[in-house]
Structures are given as structure tokens and as C-alpha cells.
Chains A and B, each alone.
Chain A
Amino acid sequence: MTDERWPRVKALFEAAADRPAHERDAFLAAETGDDEQLRRDVESLLASDASDTSLLDQLPAAHAPVLSGLLAEDWTAPEPATPAAGLPPGLRLGPYDIVALLGAGAMGEVYRARDTKLNRDVALKVLPARFALDPDYRARFTREAQVLATLNHPNIGAIYGLEASNGADALVLELVDGPTLADRIALGPLSGADALAVAHQIADAVEAAHEKGIIHRDLKPANIKVAPDGVVKVLDFGLARVWDGAPHVDLAASPSLTASGIGGQTLLGTPTYMSPEQARGQSLDRRTDIWSFGCVLYEMLTGGPPFAAETISDSLAATLEHEPDYSRLPADTPAPIRRVLRRCLEKDRKRRLDSAAAVRLEIDDAIASAEAEANTRASTASRRTTAGVVGLVSALAVAALVTWALMRPAPAAPTLPSRFSIVPPPGRPANVSGSARDIALSPDGRHVVYRFGGSNTAGSPLMVRAIDQLEGQPLAGVDGAYAPFFSPDSQWIGFFEDGELRKAPVGGGPTVTLAAVIGGPLGASWGDDNAIVYATDAPETGLWRVSADGGTPARLTTPDVARHEIAHAFPSVLPGGRGVLFTILATGETEAPQVAFVDVTTGRRKTIVGGSQAEYVDVPRPSGKTAGYLLFASAGTVRAVPFDAKRLDLLAMPVPIVEGLMTKPRGAANYAVSRAGTLLYMSGTADQTAPRSLVWVDRKGHEEPLGAPLRAYGTPRLSPDGTRVATEVYDRNTDIWIWDVTRQTLRRLTFEPDGDGMSVWTPDGRGIIYESGRPPNLYRRAADGTGTVERLITSAMGQWPTAITPDGTFLAGFDPPGLIFVPLARDGARPAPVADMRFPGAFADFSPNGRYVAYQSSESGRVEIYVRPFPQVDGGRWQVSAAGGTRPVWAKNGRELFYLDASNAMTSVPVSLSGSTFSAGKPATVFETKYVQSNPSRHYDVSADGQRFLMIKDAPASPGAMPASMVVVEHWVEELTRRVPATNAP
């Protein structure tokens, strides 16, 4: 055909292809007229189009493994170093080992760290780098920190000192676990008894600090911790002043420590709790803390601050101009407490209570008068109610305030959290392929959706199960779904399928396409504003937003490449639709995911906390109010933390509420929450680092654990004498460990930062040969860890060892795309693969007499087991497996060959090695598949007597749990608050 004709041919083909088949002939005849050649051209294309052209569609998938091998076989340049964000666990600052990031607050990041000298955990508040740049400020800071470190009081979170090392400055603080008073208040007002018990301790703390001339300046519920034993700790004493004078305070980054210029002065403090003199920018004395104390007491009793407002300026105005609304106090609030409040909240500080001691005395008075009243009332009731408030503070306070509790309406009995499991029926297991979440919970909490069956590469059907039903129903017409999610009205299920975002009614019905999407699904969320925010792994794109009725998607965020961001994932639209929580994924293995927020209208972003897959839920409380919680996943746990969704502030330290959560390598976490506060999560394992056990399995399939601890094991290899197992353990790096079978000890053998693995024992049992480095080259070292590491091969191409001949002369390895055989030099010559002994295949193992090699190859089109003579590898070839086989191992008696069949079942074939011929019998299954097996390794070995098989077994996520089953937790919020006895008393 000529170039001039082609446009016409193409146009006619497209036009004809769009028509029904029976109309095409007439159409072509009319269009081509006498041009027979043109008609034949178009017809042949149409015929070709009608035949199966799907091979071309499948080409990338079909060749992906080949490409993997080809691309991975060379390594030419070192990985560029990528700086880690924040301080990585394990980093040492002076005597302190960083353990974990606890939170990022107004004044920088706070880490849990281990004091290795004093053997205790501390909190490290890391100072922003810019503080270190101003020597004057730094000097002042140091002086102040030293003064603060002299504060020593049971109700004050201690400041241990200042640590400057390793390029970072950090304040070392007492680590106080437990929720803050703000968390507690978020659940509703405190009872009078609790409020006074807490207030008494706060007043004590403030009094002690004032005696040393230290003013808090930022006293507020979020700075007050209530430990499980009821002891109150006031945190950050004096730090507001220490931080004062910082060169810059980033307003956006510091919502709770706000600086704004008023009359040329810098304001520091939290507007809601700021005293009038503080709001005016005047000089401060200890009476500012008395004011803030009054605000805190008011908030404990009413559930809200006395001068709350939407904006900072309104809040300041209220503080300066309005009186608190005392009518919000519970009607039965005793007069002495009302008096304390009014005297603390005097706008004119000259009329205010002038010392914390005075405040404390007033509170003691209130307690005393309550007690007096109690003594005149029915004392018989006290025993019954004491249980609820035991352990609060002094016996005095308890006795006094029991009365008050009695006078209040009887609280409802506490609701206990309940859990029940959803176990997918046999034959329809949950599907956890892909990089997104696989489960969803309807906002009304009535339906659970999970992926099941299907394939690992093309999505799966969805199972819809009503909470109150025993069985689920597959969602009709859906078979390739990822990342299911619900509409806010719980009536629709959204999902990704075939490169599109789609939705279908919960009860079944036609699937509706909403938009074409590019890239692999990384989650979606349907907001109250009827828009869906979704994420994919397509490059250069972050979150997208599209109407839930369909339409053109609009870009919402773009990953910041300069900050190593590779994708924005797992969106969750906040109530009202104005903002979206999402997860920032960064390149490099050291960069942990971060939970962040984006404002839909302004595009403003804020990073909130390290973790992934965040959800926000406003949980209804018995008091009729709601309490906002941020949930996120981190290290296989769901953590919850009271969260101010307006200011995007964590109100406390996150607390784990679910452990053993199934998480995926890119951060997707299989849990979901409903608006009613129900939590759904999936346990089980989806990734490589999940714990596994080493087990013996005999020929009858009976299992017996080796006794080794649960680790992410791989490629176990028995030493020739059977006394030790060399095994990979996957953590951040893969390394080789030795399990001593008789002594029952597990010891790490290799330490290379790039990872080591794929070990092979030398025949004398004294050494192992393994792969290490980039590219993976062959190394040898003593199995007892002594001596030096010897590099056997240096090549740009990587290779993995799989076997050594019994006489130790040859090593077989895999060097993509085929087998290599390396003579192990004894006289100083450098080992190198023998060039003419290469052939396609993998997983070679030598016969016990060293004269045959078994391996697998796909040369027939299916992977089968073959045997060749050795070292004359071209001298013959026998097929051993009949219907597919991988990973052969010879029995040590030479009469049997083991391999895994197409379904990964352990298979045995009798073989004969007599003389120069090889023959094999009929394969038989030894036991069925239920053990770990994955590329590119052989995760099993065979005992010397050929009667036992060393297998790797996935450990259940928790005792008795089935892999990939789901758990529904109701009333988890109650469980969270139960951990705080002091504030839990009704």
C-alpha cells in the first residue's frame, strides 16, 4: 500500500468498524466504488480486527517477568542517598536512642526516646533547626531550660535538660503517657468530683512553679495530662516564654501557639485561654496563669471554654469584653466553686485571685463544704457509689464529692466494646492484592464490603455483607474491583475497575462509570458534597476530584517532587467536604509515609503525623455531643487520637486501638470506620515482613514447630549435619541468621546494609556461600561468624547461589535469565562462571553423587523439572515433572527428587541414577500447599533422611485468628477512654 492511500483506508476502516457487521459490505461497496484494491485493503483489516488481537494487549503483562530479569541483571551506579525526613528510629542523640515519633506539635517534633544511661523512656522535643542558627536566642534558651529543669513536683512534667548532639538540639522531657485533659473534655464535661480532683492538682502544680518564679503562660487542657492512676501532670511549664523571641513563628504551622502582632508586640499563647493582659500584649505576671486556670476549670465543668470563638480576633474580643456564660455550669454546681471561677476569671487582674495558693485553698473549701453537706445526707449510699471514683485523689475529696455525684442524674451504665469476626467462607477468601485498601464499612455501620476471589493482577469481585446477616452477597456485575468505598448515604459502593472509577447500588444494580482513571488505584473517598476524591499511582498526579454523578476529574494535589514525594494516596474526605486527609508516599525506603491534609478550596496543605491511611470520625457521645478522632495506621496498628478537625491539631498522643492490622508495603491499611463509631479491620498478612514460623512437616502432613521465634523467614537451608538452619530474615534489610536446632538459638550472621540472602552450605558445614550487595554477587563466610567475608565474584551482573556439588568443586547459581556453574577455585584463581555451561533455567540442585543436576525451565512453554548430566550438561536432558514443577531438591539417598507442582504441593518422584543413565518414575503428591512460597526463592528444604520437610508457615496475626479475616469492633471509643480511670468515672 502507498502512503497516500493509507489515510483513506484508515478512515474507511474506522467508519466501517463502527457499523454493525451486516451493514459493512454495503457501506464499503458504496464508499470504494470501483477501487477494488481499496476495498480489499479495508476488508482485510476488518477481518484482522475481528480475529483475536488480544495478544498485543497482553504483551506487557506477558513480558513483565522477562523485563524484570533483564533490568535487574545489571547494576551500574550506586543509589543516590536520600535524606530521611525527621529522625529515624535507632538514631542516637547523646545517650538517647530515638524510638518513635510521638507527634509533631507547635514547637517541633516530639519523639519517644530511650535514655540508655538511666534506662528509662523520655520525650525528646526537637527544636527546629532555625533555633540553632541564632546564637543569642540559643543562649537564652539554654539558660531558661536550666531554670525549668529545677522544677521538681509530682504534678509537673519534668524537664530533664537540653541535649545538643548529632546536629540536633532537643529538650529532654519526662515522658507522660495517657490522654490529655482536652481528650477527656472532648468526651463531655467532667463530673464535679473529677473536675475538683483535677483542679486541685493543677493548682498545686502552678503554686509550686510560681514559688520558683516560673509562669506557665500557656496553661490549657491540651497541656495537662491525666495519667491512668489519676495523677495530673502539667506539661510545658514555662516553655511558652522560652519559645518567645523565636525569630519566626510560622502561624500556619503553629495553630496552638499563635503569634500575631498587636501594637508591635508579639503574642504568645493560645487565644482561647489567654488572659486579657496577655491578649493586650502587656507584660505578664503569675496572675495570667490564674486566669487560664479558671478557663480550664470552667471547661471541665461545662465541656467548652468560656471564651470560645471561631476566629482568633473574635476569641480575643470575647476575652477582653464579654463575661463568661455562667448559666452553662451544671445547676448543682456548689457555690464555693462558682466563687472560685468568678474570682479567677476577673478581667482586671488586680481583682483576680492573686495566687495559686489562694485558688487551692478555695478549692479545699469547696471540697470541705461538700463533705459537710454529704455528712448530713444519706451516708448509706456512699459505699455503693464509691467504686466509681476510687483512686482519684485524697480520701477527703472522694468522700466530699461522692455527694455531688449522688445529686446528679444517674449516668447510663458504661457501654462495653464488642467484637465479632467476619470470616470469609472457604473457597471465597478475601483478596488483598494491589496497593489499596480492600475493605469498606458503610457510614451507617450496617454493611461491610470486602474483595474476594478473583486474581492477583486484575482485581476481584466484591462481597457485600450486612452486619446482621450471616452470609454475604457478591455485588452483581463486578469482577475486577479495587479499593471499594461507600457513599455518605450508605446506598452506593464506589470502586475502581478496568481503568475506571465506578459505582453500583449496595443492593445490586447496574454499574455506573464515573470517570476514566490513569494508573493503579490508591484509594478513594466519597464526601458529603457528593464529590469523590481518588488517588492513583500515575506519575505527576496526586489526588483527583470528580463528581459522584460522573464528569471530568479535576486535579486536587500534585506531589512535590523536590521533597521526594512520589504519590498522594488513600484520601479520606472530612465531614462537609472542605478538606481531605491523605497519605504522602515518598521515594526511598527510609522515608516513612506521612498523614497530611489539604483544604479543597485553598489547596493549602499541612502534614499532620507520621503514618498512613488516616480517617476522621466524629463519634457521638452519650452526652449528646460528638468527639472528633483521627485514626491512622502505623507499624501494623491503628492508632486513634482526639483531633481538632478545624485546627488540624492532635489533641493528645495517639493510642493504639488495634494491633495485628493487615497493612501493605505502600501504606494501605485494611481498616475502616463508620460514622457511628464502628471499626472494621482485617487481620492477617499481606506483606513479606509478616511473622512466620519454621516448621517440620512429615510425609503425612503432620507439623512440628522448630521452636524458632516468629520472624519473616525465607530460604531456609539445613546444614549438612542437620544441626543448624541458615535462613533469611526480612526486616528493613534481608540478612542471614542461623537457627541452632539443638541449642535453640537464633543468631544473626550477616550485616550488609544492602541485604544478604540465598545461602548455600559448603559440604563441610563450616561455611556458607550467599549473595550480597548490589548487584547481588557471591560471598563466602564461616557459618560461626568468625573470620572475614570473602567475595567470590565481582561482576556487574548479579547472581544467586542455589547449590554446591558434594565435593565442593562447583557452585550452581542463577544469573538471569539462566543457570550458571562456577568452579570454586582452590588455588587462588578467581571464580567465574564457565561460559559454555550456561543454559536457561533456575533453581539448580545437584544429585548426591554430583553427577546430575536437577533444575526447572520453561523451555516447553510450561515450567517443568528437568535433569541433565553434570558436568557434561549438554550430554542429555530428561523431563521429570509431568504437569508443571518448580524448585527441585534431591533426596540425600539419591533415589528421590522433590519439587513443588503447579499448585505448590510438595511432590516426590522416584529416580534412578544407576550407571550413566537417568530414569524417573511417576510423580506423587506428598502433602498439599499451605506453606509460604514466593519468588525468587525456594522456601523449603528436606531433611537428610528425606522424611521431613522444613517449611515456612505464615503465623496467624493473633492466636486463633484466621488469616485475612475481619473483625468488627463496636464502642471502641469507650475502650479508649476506659484506659483513663480518673476521668472515666461518670
Chain B
Amino acid sequence: MGSPPNVTALLGEWSRGDRTALSQLLPVVYAELRRIATRQLRSERADHTLQPTALVHEAYIRLVDQRHVDWQSRAHFFGVASQVMRRLLVDHARRHDAVKRGDGVRAVSIDEASDLAASNQIPILALDLALDRLEQVDAELARIVELRAFGGLTIEAAADVLEVSPSTAKRQWRVAKAWLHRELAAEGQP
């Protein structure tokens, strides 16, 4: 399998405290996510939206040697992938904000997309900033938000990654949502 051999090792280094590993991991994971996304778009072409969670899962399977990865590294991988998703969306929103076309932070590439997001849009940039603040207050909560909201993981999958029970994850998610919602409301955002 043509997977970059260093991802498993990088995950290990990162979980052992080497923060520079993350900067090496992000581009690899990013490239793989793109590769998978492109292949899926090309091969299926159907009524078809890529599900971030499926992308992340496939990237994980392709990149990580699962016989030599511990649970902590696994959690980190999903964290990295969720961060990639977050950065993509935030960068996209920034670019779009700068262009200032139309009336908002929205540039959905293909039609049906906007049906979902249309009337009740989460302000990505504001959310990003609020999430940074939440990280200072409670890093655990910020991680579950990243996994859920950007990585697309279900409560159960996030619990699995964070090694907490689903009920704990559910509770954390509820607190995090209440906190973020309050934070965004304070800025006049929905």
C-alpha cells in the first residue's frame, strides 16, 4: 500500500509530546483527504455528497498502520483530520469574506448544497474564534466540538476516540454547545 510510512510514527511522536509532529502530520492527512475526495467524486459522480466522517475514516485506514498504533494515537489522528476540516472551512470562509461578494459567508459550490445551510448558517469564522476561547477554558470540550462539528463524528465515535463513555461524551457535547451558543449569542450571532 502506498501509504506514507511516517504517519504512524508521527502520531506516536505527537502523542508522546512532540508538538512539531503535528505540523508534519497536517499536510499528509490533508493530501490524503483530498486524494480520497477526488477519487470518490470521479468514480461515483452520482447524487453524491462526500461525508466528512467517511473521508476521515478512509484516510485513517489508508494512512495508519493499525497494528502499530495505540488508542491515543488513534484519537490524535481523528483530531488531526477534524482540524484539517476545520482549517479548510475557516480558510474558505476567510477567502470568501475577503472577496465580499453576495451577502454572506457562503459559497456553496454545487446547487443542492445550500438548501441545507441556507437559512440557518453557522458563522464559521465566529465559531472558530469561539472555539479557540473554549480551548483555553476547557480543552476537552473543544476537542469534542472539533470531532463532532468538523470531523463529523457521531457522539459514539467521538466517545470512542476520546476514550470516554458515550454518556460522558453526550454530556460534554451538551455543555460545549451551551457554552458556544452563549458565546456566539453574546457577539450578536445566532
Contacts and interface: CB of A to CB of B under 8 A. Distances in A.
A55 B48 CA distance: 22
A327 interface: no
Given A75-B35, A754-B42, A862-B118, A14 B3 contact: no
A687 B116 CA distance: 23
B147 to A, nearest CB: 10
Contact of A49 (B2, B47, B102, B174): B174
A519 B52 contact: no
A403 interface: no
Given A77-B31, A77-B35, A734-B45, A53 B181 contact: yes
A822 B48 CA distance: 27
B109 A816 contact: yes
B44 A665 contact: yes
B49 A70 contact: no
B98 interface: no
Contacts of A67: 37, 50, 52, 55, 85, 88-89
A561 B61 contact: yes
Contacts of A861: 104, 106, 114, 118-119, 121
Interface stretch (A177-185, A784-792, A933-941): A933-941
Is the contact region of chain B dominated by helix, strand, or loop, or is it mixed? helix
B108 A74 contact: no
Contacts of B190: 55
A68 B171 contact: no
A501 to B, nearest CB: 11
B57 A538 contact: yes
B45 A53 contact: no
Interface in A804-837: 814, 816-818
Nearest to B116: A62
B151 A80 contact: no
Nearest to B38: A72
**Chain B interface residue bracket vs A:** 35 or more
Contacts of A518: 154, 156-157, 160
A81 interface: yes
Contacts of B66: 540, 561
Contacts of A49: 174, 177-178, 181
Most buried by B among A72, A81, A860: A72
Nearest to A82: B1
A818 B109 contact: yes
Interface string A853-864: 000111111110
Given A58-B116, A59-B150, A81-B2, A817 B57 contact: no
A6 interface: yes
A858 B114 contact: yes
Most buried by B among A67, A538, A935: A67
Contact of A71 (B88, B118, B120, B138): B88
A352 B43 CA distance: 64
B46 A79 contact: no
A917 to B, nearest CB: 22
Given A6-B137, A65-B108, A516 B42 contact: no
A798 interface: yes
A537 B38 contact: no
Nearest to B89: A63
Nearest to A515: B156
Interface in A839-864: 839-840, 842-843, 856-863
Nearest to A758: B45
A55 B37 contact: no
Contact of A75 (B34, B112, B160, B174): B34
Contact of B175 (A14, A520, A774): A14
A6 B108 CA distance: 38
A499 B155 contact: yes
Contacts of A843: 111
B38 A775 contact: yes
B117 interface: yes
Given A77-B35, A81-B2, A518-B154, A59 B149 contact: yes
A44 B34 contact: no
A436 to B, nearest CB: 14
A888 to B, nearest CB: 11
Contact of A60 (B1, B106, B118, B149): B149
Contacts of B157: 518-519, 538
Contact of A818 (B57, B107, B111): B107
Given A67-B89, A540-B66, A48 B179 contact: yes
Contact of B149 (A56, A561, A814): A56
B34 A72 contact: yes
A730 B45 contact: yes
A840 B37 contact: no
Nearest to A55: B122
Contact of A13 (B101, B151, B178): B178
B185 to A, nearest CB: 7
A587 B62 contact: yes
Contact of A858 (B54, B111, B152): B111
Interface in B132-190: 136-138, 145, 148-152, 154-157, 160, 166, 171, 174-175, 177-182, 185, 190
Interface in A311-341: none
10 closest Cβ pairs, A-B complex: A80-B2, A65-B113, A858-B114, A71-B37, A859-B102, A60-B152, A69-B109, A49-B178, A817-B109, A48-B182
Interface of B: 1-3, 31, 33-39, 41-55, 57-58, 60-62, 65-67, 74, 85, 88-89, 92, 101-104, 106-122, 124, 136-138, 145, 148-152, 154-157, 160, 166, 171, 174-175, 177-182, 185, 190
25 contacts: A6-B138, A14-B171, A14-B174, A17-B174, A48-B178, A48-B182, A49-B174, A49-B177, A56-B180, A64-B152, A65-B108, A67-B89, A70-B92, A71-B33, A76-B34, A81-B2, A539-B58, A540-B66, A688-B45, A774-B39, A776-B42, A842-B109, A858-B113, A858-B118, A863-B115
